[in-house]
Amino acid sequence: MAAGPKGPVYTETPDSEPNFPLMGEFVGPIKTDSEDKNVVALQIRPVGNDTFEAIQYLGGLPGEEGHKTEIVQLIGRRSDDFVVLSGGPYAVFVEKDGCLVLDRKGNRIGELKRVERESSTLHAPAPKDAVVLFDGTSTDQFIDGQMTKDGLLMHGTKIKPMMQDFNLHLEFRLPYMPEALDQARGNSGIYLHGRYECQVLDSFATPAVFNGCGALYRFRTPDLNMCYPPLRWQTYDIQFTAARWDAEGNKIRGAHVTSWLNGVKIQDDVELPGPTGAGKAEEPNLLPTLFQDHGDPVRFRNVWIVDRGLASGTFPIRPTKEELEALEKEKQAKIEREKKEQEKKARELKEKKEAEKKKQAEMKAAADKAAADKAAADKAQAEKAAAKPEAKEEAKPAEAVK
């Protein structure tokens, strides 16, 4: 955890931060006055000083069948290990594993269970025609690319291969910044050709807006806010078609973007009239695609790109059950190999320490023996030296008689 002007910044799950366990998504049926049951979905997040914001949907969460886009915005405050949300037609008591819903008379009308969703394109394998940009082993395919100790790509880098029309897959993880708001909360972005930004931002539990996660920054709001909670791996799949120009340098067709956030289409073949945000000016030439540095530690992994001028195929790619099982098996095998390697190193270190200890004991024993031998020799020498004067004294009377 680091701290700065935006408050605490967590890149790993916090052990003792009390608000983090209450953040998330919850779904369940509630009973209305007419005895009918409606599915209610809730997204909740902390916003500093033990206060919380939440979005309530009917029918299910964004991207789910039955989801209705109308929202009710709720607010609440933590007390001990739960939050009470208000602002809707009933009160919602949020705990770590679920929510209790009460009407104005205090009657229990429903329960919402915690859910943890996973993108359908998570761990998508690179197709045979793809260029693997980042797989956790090196940053060779990036300009100024940096990698964390645990093998993740850091923000603030450019893709080396430049392609006119392409499909790009990447997975990203947002930091948990509970006291930051709006554009200060887990901000980055994918600048296609350095000109058009597909926004990356912690927009979880907020309304969909034109500068939120999944937006074509400050140009078009995503059809749905598909952002998951921070510290959860999420996916961006982007199909980009560059602008077209004539021989005199006149633009004859704007760039087009189709994008999927966490496996759900949120921008459908949208034409861009020009650069977005801080994008570079439009020209016929290609520019590198940029992973924006906005000062927040957004992390990336499993990044690959397909040049659509050289390859074809379906997109996005949704890994099969067998592929996911093989990936999990490989992951477990890697963990087992690392465990055995650590055990081997631990044994070798233990043996080395024991050998050093034995050597030191032998050296000490040899030193003690040498010291004892020397002491004995010195003692014998001293006794011998002390005995000689007595012998001389005894000899003197004999000489006198003679």
Q: Output the CA angle 188-231-64, nearest 5 degrees.
A: 90
Q: Answer yes or no: CATH 3.40.630.30 is held by domain 131-318.
A: no
Give the 3-state secondary structure of 131-159. Answer: EEEECCCCCCCEECCCECCCCCEECCEEE
State if pTM tops 0.75. Answer: yes
- Ordered by start, the domain boundaries in the chain are 2-115, 131-318, 320-354
Q: What local confidence, expressed as pLDDT, does residue 390 receive?
A: 58
- Is residue 110 within 8 A of residue 40, CB to CB? The reply is yes
CATH class of 2-115: mainly beta
- Cα–Cα dist 231/12, whole Å: 7
Q: Is the peptide bond before 89 cis (omega within 30 degrees of 0)?
A: no
Contact indicator for 137, 288 with CB cutoff of 8 Å = no
Q: Tens of pLDDT along the chain (402 residues)?
A: 666 678 899 999 998 899 999 999 999 999 876 666 789 999 999 999 999 999 999 999 999 999 999 999 999 999 999 999 999 889 999 999 999 999 988 999 999 999 999 999 999 999 999 999 999 999 999 999 999 999 999 999 999 999 999 999 999 999 999 999 899 999 999 999 999 999 999 999 999 999 999 999 999 999 999 999 999 999 999 999 999 999 999 999 999 999 999 999 999 999 999 999 889 999 999 999 999 998 899 999 999 999 998 877 888 989 988 888 888 888 888 888 989 988 999 898 899 998 888 998 888 888 888 888 888 888 888 888 888 765 555 555 545 444
d(CA 163, CA 131): 11
